[in-house]
Structure 1
Amino acid sequence: MINEREVLVLVSPYEYAGPVSLGDATLVARTQGGAIAGGELYLGTNGSPSTFYAVDALTGRVNFKEPLPGHDVIWAVVVGSDNYVYIGGTNTGYLLRYKPDEKVLENLGANPSNKWIWDLDASPDGRIYGSTYAPGAGKAFVYDIASASFADLGVVQPGQDYVRGGGVSGRYFYAGTGTTAHLFRYDRENGEKTEIPLPITGSAASISNIWGYGGKLFVAYGTSLLVLDELTYRVIRQIDWLSAPAFDGMLSPPSPYNGTLMYYRNKNTSALWTYDLSSDETAPAEPDLALPSHSWRAANWMRIAEGPKTGRHVLVALTNEIERILYDPIDHTIEVLQTQVRPSGIEVQSLETGPDGNLYMGGYQGAMSVYDTAAGQFAVQEKEPHQIEGIGFLNGKAFFGLYGGAVICEYDPTKPFRMGDNPFVAYEIEDEQSRPFTFAAGGGKLFIGTISGYGQLGGALTIYDPAAGTWNVHRHVVNNQSVIGLAYRDGLVYGGTSIWGGLGIPPSETEARFFVWDVAKAARTAELKPEVPGFISPQMIGELSFGPDGLLWGIMWGRAEEADSACALFAMDPLTRTVVKSRVISEGDRGSAWRPFFLRWGGDGMLYTTIGRRLLVFDPRTLDSRLLTDKPVNLMTLGPDGSVYYTQGAQLIKLQVRK
């Protein structure tokens, strides 16, 4: 049996030209966070990298923009008491500050808590409070503007990853946790910390925003809302996300014309609604006013300085699609206006070659593209659907697995793109599932592996039978583990797992497993650990693929005899389920705990992989290998002519084959 530890250099029958960028693959104009003040919109775009913009709220003109290297998504934007704009990203922990009068963006340094900043809130006495994420140690921090100094407020709730949202009201800073909900109050004068009991305390929810208006505290958890008396914390109103008045996660401040009315977008109808502080009633604004079906990311009142409405106050809202919405409460009109923010490249999240030889891609937090390999150009570049984690193919159709639950969209490449019609939502996998990262097809059926949702363990194998019109979901095929690798042959599905489930909960198991599922019996018929010499404990197994030699090939990551972080490439006899070839490699990285390591078979008989998140090609007979690029690679596929395609950030890269 072959089992080599040292990497041998492969002499490939193919040579490749140098890497060529084919341009940004997935494009959107989208934001996750913003603020509105001084007649401007402030936001960071989704992108690779993100870009900070200051946009004129009335004209949509870009007044300032600057790339934010190291950042891909900006959730946290707030205007401080000094009228400067504070920005927090999701990778570096840096707090940035934009000075509108000088048009200067500066870096204030890394906060002392965590690298991922979810939310920023400003107090009137010159402080900026930050809410952060880190596994098991979600913290909050404060930045003092006058002294230019940070202070770490510590772990908000032990064991909780997320301090997802905060808020400042009066002398208090409030911090909300997830994926198990807790609300804490910090006295901003003496630092005393007090937990505020809620109806959702201890439940599987994440508190995402907090506002204080009119003596009441508004606590958002997703698109549900609690309204509390801020003196007693008595619950005045609870609006569930499934109820008729459900909001989309954002509230406006009270109207300057009627201090009891606050406005929001109704999640269910996309109409403008009001919350009355005096009666605690919700109702549609009068007359009925329709809004775009895009979530609000910021809302504030602005006084018009010139033109026929000079002196009038209008409500300005910024949507996640970077639209401007202007509501005039005097003449009851709504204007939906675009900005001059153009689509930019976002990190590619998924990449597969379709049966038509074209490349199908999804972006991180949005976008879908198709690259025509014969024409050498992008045939489709759309801003939707939402984040595609994995892509599969069956009967000439493409199936996209969307994050945000586990939504499966079906797309016919022979028909024009029209979101909602093509692609359309074919099925939503329930049973607390999320992130469909792996697909396989065979026997006229489609097989999908998913991760459990936030704060949950136990992924699922879902089987779609188009002939019968059925979707069957089998959770806990391996107890408390996620399904990240799939292959099919002769009525059997072969699968691999990850010990990790949704964010916000540690694994309960210590080793990943290989399993066999009998489709006809709808039952698991085997579960085992692949025995690879020198490899001790797998924690991820996937992807899996049948080779031309009839063996089932796979990659696993975990602990080896010589390294605590190592990968193993192995080939298994599918009948005896014994490993007949393997190689242990300690170079590289685990990367994502959910995304499988890709395996793709070339026309040259070679096996191309992303083992260790590196692009390596193996000779399956000898397991000699060759590194094709020295850059980390998460996504890779092969074109019809044998060319290798991979991604770097937003860019699609091609290694042209030279025969």
Structure 2
Amino acid sequence: MTHLNRRNVIQLTALSALGGSVLGELPAAADGLRRPGQFGPASLSAAIVGMAVDGTTGYFVTRGQTPPKVVTYDIVSRTVTDVVSLERGDGGWACTVSGGKVYIGTYSFGDIVEYDPATRVARRLGTIGPSGTIVFAATTAPDGVVYFGTYPRGEVWSLQPATGTLTNLGRAFPGSQYARLLAADETYVYAGTIPAHIVRIDRSTGAKVDIMPVGTALDSGLGALAAGSDRVYAASSFGVHDIARDGSGYVEVPADEEYLVDSLTVTGDGGLLALGRLTGSILRREGDRLARIAQGPEGDEGRGVALLPDGTVFAANGSGRVSILAPGRNTVEQDDLTNDARAAGPELLQSMCAAPDGSVYVGGHFAITVHEPARGISRRYPVAGEAKDIAAWRNRMISALYPSGEVIDLDPRTGRVRSFGRIDNNQQRPWDVVHHKPSGLVLIASAPRYGSLQGALTLLDPATGKMEVRLDILPNQALNAIALDGDMAYIAGDTWGGNGIPPTEPTAQVAVFDISRREVVDRFAPLPDQPSMQHVEVLNGVLYALYKRTSGSWLAYDLATRTVLRSGKLSGYGEIVAHRGRIYAGANFGDNIYLLGPGLESAVRLHTGIGTNWYTVPRIEPVLGARKAWAAVDRNLALIELPS
């Protein structure tokens, strides 16, 4: 077994046949960050989650880089002025300013961090949940007290910045795991939860009252929350509901043709500014409507919007792009934090694809990087989301994006993107993209939005652009993976769907879909009491499956006799691939690559330390005609040898 670590030069290591070897990580740059063009990181990102503004300074917290960074941005000069790494964590959704200091809540440790821009010191004040806690929201009350909202306990916490005292105000709403959004005024702190409730918490007594209007679009989910002038503003796919803070009534403020309003702020004059998710709209309240005043990046998620003292509108998106709208203008200036070498860094991958011409396509946050190892070059192309999976098609690639569900065709030579449109049908998270060469179709498995169960199979003909979305594959299950065997597609299910709602099916199933007839010909459950299947592969009449729940459970299942041939436990869940008559698996929570079969009584661990994380899985992309595969080792593109 080989433990894989970062190397600065190409190395060759002779190992045993089952041990595998690193054939080479591509060389580092002479100094500083190794950009993709120099074959260092497989993917670079400055994607952000947390955002706060203080005067003319913006503060951002990155995601995907471990540990996350606090990025300081001077809005006037349009420049990154400082970057400081936190002690630990994967990102920080919660970010707010109080008394000139920045307060951050991280995941996956649930740390509360105070960052002082004057001294450049980030100090951990405490931890407000067990391992795995996500601090999703932060807000500052007018008197400077800071509040945080958490998952999975759904709690609201207060912080006294002067003393560093953290106080648990309890679960925001009974049974809810998410205190997802927060806003505060002089008297109350307001928590937006999942399922959707707006809970008013008395800052003095802790008394909680649900002021959520009933029978409105807010019932389907909250996008943002703000408070001011004795009003509470709650955003949704409809627009905004302007609610009396005692819950006695509300005014509807629609936003036409918006997918979701996901960022909201109350301006000093009592007005509202907002961002439209995916549309890129910058919105302002005009009477009782939200009107688009400018266009930001399309396909992106909003992270925040602010009105500066001189009337400039400043907005940021999840990709790390910022938009600046000067007073009296209707077009924005855009900047990308990824252009700053300090802010950008190697990220955990979303996807990887080994192309027939020897190129390697790597999907990340809002970008796809094309590596050409033989030529020693790479190109990074922006896309409108996380490239959850990629399949080679002709001399191009097909990718499905999160969170929009958009399906794109990208030319790896030019970066030109053609959109086939969105999957829609309540789908949000594509999981697997495969190309069925005999029919020319591309098949896409996807999971629905939070609070829904029904996933979809999308059949795309890239030549014509025609797309068919099927919701009848596995009832009340998300679709996580597709294995092709001739004209049959074996499709793996997940009874948890998009999460947030109890499963209705007892165990995850596999659907057998006849591609030529475009119909489901069989459904079966390989194991009982296994809610979530992560990946499947078929080789010589045997289906290999790897489960997410229970994490790491795997099996080899004879399709003819419907019997389990072998089963076992890996370190975690991930993907399974067939290559040159062998079955390999990559699993997180241990970051291992295994040989599963055929003919083995138990899995053989080949490589470890490949550097994934809880929300990504190891990628194994076999090289055609060779017992080698591309992978990401410690976030660097690497070529590993597979046993003969």
Above 0.5 in TM-score? yes
Whether 1:349 and 2:350 are equivalent positions in the alignment is yes
* Equivalent in 235, 256, 263 of residue 250 of structure 1: 263
1:484 maps to 480
Verify the 8 A CA contact 2:226 2:265 in the aligned structure 1. no
State percent identity of aligned pairs: 21
Moved more, 116-125 or 43-52: 43-52
Counterpart amino acid of 1:354? A
- Provide Cα deviations, 1:23-58, integer angstroms capped at 9, x if missing partner: 222223332331111432111123422210222222
Matches within 5 A, 1:196-215: 196-199=211-214, 205-215=220-230
Would the alpha carbon gap of residues 606 and 131 (structure 1) be closer, same or farther in structure 2, given more than 3 Å must change?
same
Would the alpha carbon gap of residues 326 and 616 (structure 1) be closer, same or farther in structure 2, given more than 3 Å must change?
closer
CA drift of 1:471 comes to 2.6
Once residues 347 and 13 of structure 1 are traced to their aligned partners in structure 2, the CA distance between those partners, rounded to angstroms, is 27
1:142 maps to 158
CA-atom RMSD in angstroms: 3.4
Tell me which structure has the larger Cα radius of gyration: 1
Once residues 566 and 51 of structure 1 are traced to their aligned partners in structure 2, the CA distance between those partners, rounded to angstroms, is 31
Matches within 5 A, 1:316-327: 316-320=313-317, 322=320, 325-327=323-325
- Provide Cα deviations, 1:60-97, integer angstroms capped at 9, x if missing partner: 344432123543333221111x2211112231211111
CA drift of 1:474 comes to 2.1
2:392 maps to 393
Counterpart amino acid of 2:188? Y
CA drift of 1:656 comes to 5.2
Counterpart amino acid of 2:358? G
Gap regions ≥5 residues in structure 1: 1-9, 304-312, 591-595
* Equivalent in 624, 627, 647 of residue 605 of structure 2: 627
Verify the 8 A CA contact 2:631 2:637 in the aligned structure 1. yes
- Provide Cα deviations, 1:339-381, integer angstroms capped at 9, x if missing partner: 6744332220111222333222211x32211222433x45322
Kindly indicate whether structure 1 or structure 2 has the higher relative contact order, using CA contacts under 8 Å at least 6 residues apart: 1
* Equivalent in 455, 462, 479 of residue 458 of structure 2: 462
2:584 maps to 608
1:51 maps to 69
1:309 maps to none
1:556 maps to 546
Once residues 147 and 227 of structure 2 are traced to their aligned partners in structure 1, the CA distance between those partners, rounded to angstroms, is 15
- Provide Cα deviations, 1:573-620, integer angstroms capped at 9, x if missing partner: 4xx2534742x2234124xxxxx5222314xx4332215762012452
Would the alpha carbon gap of residues 315 and 295 (structure 1) be closer, same or farther in structure 2, given more than 3 Å must change?
farther
Moved more, 348-357 or 469-478: 469-478
Once residues 537 and 617 of structure 1 are traced to their aligned partners in structure 2, the CA distance between those partners, rounded to angstroms, is 25
* TM-score scaled by length of structure 1: 0.81
* TM-score scaled by length of structure 2: 0.83
Would the alpha carbon gap of residues 64 and 555 (structure 1) be closer, same or farther in structure 2, given more than 3 Å must change?
same
Would the alpha carbon gap of residues 263 and 110 (structure 1) be closer, same or farther in structure 2, given more than 3 Å must change?
same
CA drift of 1:408 comes to 1.5
Counterpart amino acid of 2:469? V
Verify the 8 A CA contact 1:358 1:639 in the aligned structure 2. no
* Equivalent in 395, 414, 417 of residue 415 of structure 2: 417
* Equivalent in 181, 185, 189 of residue 200 of structure 2: 185
CA drift of 1:456 comes to 0.5
Counterpart amino acid of 2:447? I
1:132 maps to 150
- Provide Cα deviations, 1:537-592, integer angstroms capped at 9, x if missing partner: 43344533343xx3333123378xxxx7552231534xx2534742x2234124xx
1:509 maps to 505
CA drift of 1:167 comes to 0.2
2:35 maps to none
- Provide Cα deviations, 1:174-206, integer angstroms capped at 9, x if missing partner: 00112x311110000111100003145696533
CA drift of 1:425 comes to 1.8
CA drift of 1:629 comes to 2.1
Counterpart amino acid of 2:366? G
Would the alpha carbon gap of residues 452 and 577 (structure 1) be closer, same or farther in structure 2, given more than 3 Å must change?
farther
Verify the 8 A CA contact 1:544 1:552 in the aligned structure 2. no
Once residues 297 and 369 of structure 2 are traced to their aligned partners in structure 1, the CA distance between those partners, rounded to angstroms, is 24
Whether 1:73 and 2:91 are equivalent positions in the alignment is yes
Matches within 5 A, 1:99-178: 99-112=116-129, 115-134=133-152, 137-178=153-194
3-state SS of 2:505 partner: coil
Matches within 5 A, 1:490-569: 490-530=486-526, 537-541=529-533, 543-547=535-539, 550-557=540-547, 566-569=552-555
Gap regions ≥5 residues in structure 2: 1-14, 27-38
Verify the 8 A CA contact 1:482 1:500 in the aligned structure 2. yes
- Provide Cα deviations, 1:123-163, integer angstroms capped at 9, x if missing partner: 133421112222xx422221222332222222223343322
3-state SS of 2:531 partner: strand
Would the alpha carbon gap of residues 169 and 643 (structure 1) be closer, same or farther in structure 2, given more than 3 Å must change?
same
3-state SS of 2:530 partner: strand
Alignment size in residue pairs? 599
Once residues 238 and 142 of structure 2 are traced to their aligned partners in structure 1, the CA distance between those partners, rounded to angstroms, is 27
Would the alpha carbon gap of residues 347 and 100 (structure 1) be closer, same or farther in structure 2, given more than 3 Å must change?
same
Once residues 251 and 381 of structure 1 are traced to their aligned partners in structure 2, the CA distance between those partners, rounded to angstroms, is 31
Would the alpha carbon gap of residues 28 and 652 (structure 1) be closer, same or farther in structure 2, given more than 3 Å must change?
same
CA drift of 1:393 comes to 3.5
3-state SS of 1:504 partner: coil
Would the alpha carbon gap of residues 59 and 161 (structure 1) be closer, same or farther in structure 2, given more than 3 Å must change?
same
3-state SS of 1:249 partner: strand
Once residues 55 and 430 of structure 1 are traced to their aligned partners in structure 2, the CA distance between those partners, rounded to angstroms, is 36
Would the alpha carbon gap of residues 489 and 318 (structure 1) be closer, same or farther in structure 2, given more than 3 Å must change?
same
Would the alpha carbon gap of residues 368 and 141 (structure 1) be closer, same or farther in structure 2, given more than 3 Å must change?
same
